[in-house]
Amino acid sequence: MAEDKRWMEEHVLKGQDLLLYGRLLEEMDELPPEEIWRELRKAAEAYLAGGKDRTRLVHQRVDELIEALVARDQRFGYPPPFCHCGCANCCHELVYCTDEEASRIHEHCLQEGIPIDHAKLARQLEHVETDGHLDHTGGTTWNDQSEADQSCIFLGEDRACRVWSERPLVCRVHLAEKTDQYCRPHNGVENPEALGISYIELSYILSAVFMVHRDSVKKTMGRLLLLERKD
């Protein structure tokens, strides 16, 4: 454990706190510390080794991992996730992403002629509480907006994601069980009826990537896209 922890502290944490997400956060008290450090290091090393192509590579890795995990579960009789392009109920909430993901989305939109509604992004950000660094503090009045403004700017009239190939990690790893009926939170609070399929393997990857990009993730996708426009 000591070696893996030292590596994480030197290459990822750099004096900052450990950030854990998803099932990893839920089960951290039950997991051996040496396992947590080992798996976080593996995820972080794989990501950092990708260099300039690391975002595309981690997206590909996550997609392939989900496919393998779902196939494994199906062999034991478990149904696959409900999620698919077009279910869309989760596309009505605040989205976190890395600065690199925002840049790729911005470039994809330029190449494909997909408009970015910057005015809507600005209106949405009025409902997101931030600190002096413009980092999201956790508070939100998202659902106090008009219904039209609550949806992601990339959600088409057909309920399909217009940037599906470049969607952020958070949009890939959060998987619904049986239905998307309860996937919308209310002002940041999850619907207690929501049922999710949570793979700890994905939680390690998401946690590692978000720790590498901790300076940009809490800006939220909306603010990062607005910054891309200014650049």
**What spatial distance separates the first Cα and last Cα of the chain, rounded to whole Å?**
42
Q: How far is CA 75 from CA 53, 62, 68, 80, in A?
A: 33, 20, 11, 11
Length of the chain: 231
Q: Render each residue's pLDDT in the chain as its tens digit; 231 residues.
A: 799 999 999 999 999 999 999 889 889 889 999 999 999 999 999 999 999 999 999 999 999 999 999 999 999 999 999 999 999 999 999 999 999 999 999 999 999 999 999 999 999 999 999 999 999 999 999 999 999 999 999 999 999 999 999 999 999 999 999 999 999 999 999 999 999 999 999 999 999 999 999 999 999 999 999 999 865
pTM of the model: 0.95
155 beta partners: 161
Q: Domain residue spans in the chain? A: 2-230
Strand, helix or coil for residue 1: coil
- C-alpha triplet 6, 11, 171: angle, nearest 5°: 115
Q: Is residue 136 within 8 Å of residue 130, measured between CB atoms?
A: yes
